[in-house]
Structure 1
Amino acid sequence: MNYPEFLSYDIALAACAALAVLITLLLLKAFALRHLQRLADSGRLHILRYAEQVVSSTRLPFFTGVALLAGVSQIKLSPMQDRWINYAWVVILVSQIALWGSRIISVAIGNAVARQRTADPATATHLLLAGLAGRILLWSTAALVMLDNLGFNITTLMASLGIGGIAVALAVQNILGDVFSSVSIALDKPFVIGDFIIVDNYMGTVEHVGLKTTRLRSLSGEQIVFSNAELLKCRIRNYRRMQERRVVFEFGIAYETPQQEVERLPQTLMEIVSADYLQTRFDRAHFKGYGESGLMFEVVYHVLDADYNVYMDIQQEINLALLTVLRERNVSFAYPRRMVHVTHLAEPQESAGQAGKLAA
Structure 2
Amino acid sequence: MSSEILMHFVTMAVAVLATFVVVSLFLKWAVVKLEGYYKSRGIVLDEGIRADFSRSFKVVVLGLVLFVLMREISFGPVATRYVSYVLLIGITLMCISLVYNFVRGMLDFSLKRKGLSLDEHSSRVLLPVVKAIAWIVALAFLLDNFGFKISTILAGLGVAGVAVGFAAQAVLGDLFSYFAILFDRPFRIGDFIVLDTLRGNIEHIGLKTTRIRSLDGEQIVLSNSDLTGSRVHNYRRMTRRRVLFGFGVVYQTPAAKVEAIPGLVRAVIENVDLATCDRAHFKQFGAFSLDFEVVFYVESPDYGTYMDIQQTINLGLMKTFEAQGIAFAYPTQKIYMTSEEENDA
- State the TM-score, normalizing by the size of structure 2: 0.67
- CA separation in 1, counterparts of 2:141 and 2:112? 35
1:248 deviates by: 0.5
- CA separation in 1, counterparts of 2:191 and 2:46? 32
* Corresponding residue of 1:190: 186
Larger radius of gyration: 1
1:199 deviates by: 1.1
Give the superposed CA RMSD: 4.1
- CA separation in 2, counterparts of 1:292 and 1:282? 27
Question: 1:191-242 CA deviation, whole Å, 9 max, x = no partner?
Answer: 1222211111112222222221122222233222211112111101011111
- CA separation in 1, counterparts of 2:311 and 2:318? 11
The SS at the match of 1:314 is helix
Alignment pair present for 1:332 and 2:331: no
Alignment pair present for 1:230 and 2:226: yes
1:163 deviates by: 2.4
1:117 deviates by: 8.8
- CA separation in 2, counterparts of 1:140 and 1:200? 41
The SS at the match of 1:257 is coil
Which 5+ residue runs of structure 2 have no aligned equivalent?
1-34, 36-43, 54-77
* One of 274, 295, 302 as aligned partner of 1:307: 302
* Corresponding residue of 2:290: 295
The 5 Å alignment of 1:75-114 reads 97=94, 104=101
Which portions of structure 1, spanning 4 or more consecutive aligned residues, are displaced by more than 6 angstroms? 45-48, 51-54, 88-92, 109-114
Alignment pair present for 1:165 and 2:161: yes
Cα gap change, 1:211/1:197 in structure 2, threshold over 3 Å: closer, same or farther?
same
1:335 deviates by: 1.3
Whether contact under 8 Å (2:45, 2:109) holds in the other structure is: no
The SS at the match of 1:334 is coil
The 5 Å alignment of 1:117-132 reads 119=116, 124-125=121-122, 127-132=123-128
Whether contact under 8 Å (1:105, 1:134) holds in the other structure is: no
Cα gap change, 1:242/1:258 in structure 2, threshold over 3 Å: closer, same or farther?
same
Whether contact under 8 Å (1:287, 1:296) holds in the other structure is: yes
Whether contact under 8 Å (1:90, 1:146) holds in the other structure is: no
Aligned residues: 281
The 5 Å alignment of 1:258-277 reads 258-275=254-271, 277=272
* One of 213, 220, 225 as aligned partner of 2:216: 220
* Corresponding residue of 2:175: 179
1:266 deviates by: 0.9
- CA separation in 2, counterparts of 1:337 and 1:156? 87
Cα gap change, 1:216/1:98 in structure 2, threshold over 3 Å: closer, same or farther?
farther
- CA separation in 2, counterparts of 1:319 and 1:109? 52
- CA separation in 2, counterparts of 1:198 and 1:117? 26
Question: 1:146-203 CA deviation, whole Å, 9 max, x = no partner?
Answer: 5445643112111221222222211111111111111111222211222211111112
- State the TM-score, normalizing by the size of structure 1: 0.64
- CA separation in 2, counterparts of 1:182 and 1:309? 31
- CA separation in 2, counterparts of 1:112 and 1:203? 33
Cα gap change, 1:293/1:204 in structure 2, threshold over 3 Å: closer, same or farther?
same
Alignment pair present for 1:283 and 2:282: no
- CA separation in 2, counterparts of 1:297 and 1:326? 14
Whether contact under 8 Å (1:191, 1:238) holds in the other structure is: yes
